[in-house]
Amino acid sequence: MGWARAFGDPEVIRDVFNKHAVYQKPKSTPLTKLLEQGILSYEEDKWAKHRKIFNPAFHMEKIKDMLHAVHLSCSEMVSQWEEAVSTKEPSTELDKWPYL
């Protein structure tokens, strides 16, 4: 599939999103092309067009409006996880996939 990079610094993330032509995505194999169709795999003009469409949904005020619902959902999920691992065993395996 290629290299993956993770960024935690907000300035670096902003730079990557705003200078998309500089940060090219890796070329795909036929299998990955089937799996990766979507905005994350778009390049240049197609990416910019779709970003313009999606951008209003991620305006700071919209995100602030969703904060309470996200907090409640995460709190409920953490409570379920705590209950699932509250055994007396020294370690517990938790399948996170159903929660995604």
Spatial CB neighbours of 16, under 8 Å, sequence gap ≥ 6: 7, 23
pLDDT for 31: 66
Q: Which of 28, 39, 41 is nearest to 1 (CA)?
A: 28
Q: Going by C-beta distance under 8 Å and a sequence separation of 6 or more, which residues neighbour residue 77?
A: 99
- Please say whether the dihedral angle defined by the alpha carbons of residues 82, 84, 85 and 88, taken in this order, is positive or negative: positive
Q: How far apart are CA 47 and CA 50, in angstroms?
A: 5
- pLDDT-derived band of residue 5, with 50, 70 and 90 as boundaries? low
Domain ranges of the chain: 1-58, 60-100
What is the pLDDT confidence band of residue 1, given thresholds at 50, 70 and 90?
very low
Residues 39-87 pLDDT 10s:
777 888 888 898 898 888 888 998 899 999 999 999 999 998 888 888 7
